[in-house]
Chain A
Amino acid sequence: MRFPERARAILSSDTARAEPLALFRIGLAAVALLQAMVLWGYRDLLLGEYGLVPWIISEPMTDPLFLKLSHVAALLHPFGIGSDASVSILLLVHAASAVALMLGYRTRPAAIATWLTYLPLKNTGFLFTYGLGSLLLIGLFYCVLMPVGRAWSMDERAGRFRDADPEWVPLSVIVLRIHLCIVYAAAGVSKAMGEQWWTGDAVWRALSLPQFQQFDPAPFLGFTPVLQGAAVASVLVQLFYPVLVWTRLRALVVFFTELLHFAIAAFLGLWLFSLVMIVFNAGAFGESLWRALFGRARFLPRQAASG
């Protein structure tokens, strides 16, 4: 096989099924919904016009063409709706859209609504946004464009995809794969350039930071090689991921990467962040993982097998 054909075969292997994209959709929508629930409880503090960091301070720090909460407030003001109520309405619409997206009901409009309502929350609340914010934005944008509702959705049950072009599925999965490779390559290279990641100090520091602390890390001081091993393993998993996922070691590499994210969640409490990364991997390599675990491409017994 010539190189272009071989490259195409490797890129597109295990990309025919729509179920991984469905998992991607459901997981992302769940994260958006959970985040919305947190933001709802603290909307006055974190998002209010006169909250902890008023809009008049935060919004000029960003480009005027970014969609912001003040734009939403201005839109609703003629209807007698104040800024606080505007934030509440936006959050409710965002949550409702996320539920529709999760269920796969009118999937594309739901994805657009979830994405559009998320933008002002992120842009005005950028001071309160950590890595989860950017990853969620990337994922929601992909949900707008990709055929994430083709499986495990109310739309599928209603037969809305009978005549849908199946070619969009493998193309979407390939985009997810390449983007993940970019993420891990960049993260791995950046970490590899930090001495802390080779001495184990990075893991110690992360465990010691009060904002992440799940338990007292002091007992780990008696096992510093474990800290160093965990740090180096994190770097190596991320550096080798972009290479090994295109080989026969794909399922193993993705499995260990998912394990890494689970460890981040358990040890640092970053459950939402880890869930986003886990569903990204599931969306990109779910079919390969399923085949490796169960030796077949079918996700449910009643479905026809695919190639």
Chain B
Amino acid sequence: MTPAARKLAIGAAAIHLGIAAFFSTHWQVEQFLPAVVDRPLKLYGAYTGAQTHFNFFAPTVSTQARAQFVLTRPDGSQARDELVTGNFEANQRLAMMFTFYGVPEARPFLARAWAVHMLNRHPDAESVEVRVEVLDIPTLAEIKAGKGSRWVEIDRTRLARREIS
């Protein structure tokens, strides 16, 4: 390796690692960047992974969300369904998707997308109600006091088939 190539390689590595370090914690530092800097860094991060926040389970272990679907047929009978597969990795991915319901701007789009999927899965249903729940996990101290985990409904959306036809 020529000295110039070595300096270039080390310099490029240093910049890359510097970017990685800058975005590595749970603090959303990109909020403080001007757009002229933020977008190029975002693009660079999308292709290299350098803009990764290593805040898995940090600073807290957040709870889990799920969606329950209640489908109503024309005769008034109802059926329940949920989005779950027989594969652990696939279910991990579905669980991640449900946590995005925590982003307020995404909620109406996600609820509708899930509702449409369920109506397609149940062609005999005329409407579907999407009930989103989060798991309330007590602390160790609360458990000792007798409190248990429970699913708490946080949102409910109804979609009729005629709205998507």
Could you tell me which A residues sit within 8 Å of B by CB distance?
A: 35, 38, 41-42, 45-46, 51-54, 57, 61-63, 65-67, 119, 123, 125, 127-131, 134-135, 137-139, 141, 165, 167-168, 171, 174-175, 178-179, 182-183, 185-187, 189-194, 196-197, 199-202, 204-206, 208-211, 221, 224, 227, 269-270, 272
CB pair A41–B52 under 8 Å, yes or no, is no
Could you tell me which B residues sit within 8 Å of A by CB distance?
A: 1, 6, 9-10, 13, 16-17, 20-21, 24-26, 39, 42-43, 46-50, 52-61, 63-64, 66, 83, 85, 87-97, 100, 106, 109-110, 113-114, 117, 135, 137, 139-140, 143-144, 149
CB pair A128–B59 under 8 Å, yes or no, is no
Query: Which 8 A-B residue pairings sit nearest by Cβ, starting from the closest?
Result: A194-B59, A138-B49, A186-B24, A190-B58, A128-B93, A137-B49, A211-B95, A205-B61
CB pair A61–B93 under 8 Å, yes or no, is no
CB pair B6–A209 under 8 Å, yes or no, is no
Assembly CA distance A221 to B138 (angstroms): 12
CB pair B89–A272 under 8 Å, yes or no, is yes
From A41, A191, A199, contact of B139 by CB (8 A)? A199
Q: A52-B97, A175-B13, A224-B140 are in contact. Are A42 and B56 (CB under 8 A)?
A: no
Assembly CA distance A230 to B47 (angstroms): 35
Smallest Cβ distance from B65 to chain A, in angstroms?
10
Give chain B residues whose Cβ lies under 8 Å from the Cβ of A129.
Answer: 93, 96
CB pair A209–B135 under 8 Å, yes or no, is yes
Can you sample 28 A-B contacts with CB below 8 Å?
Answer: A38-B89, A42-B87, A51-B117, A52-B97, A52-B117, A61-B106, A63-B39, A119-B46, A130-B92, A141-B47, A167-B6, A182-B17, A182-B20, A183-B54, A186-B21, A186-B53, A190-B25, A190-B55, A193-B59, A196-B59, A197-B58, A201-B61, A201-B139, A202-B57, A211-B92, A211-B95, A227-B140, A269-B88
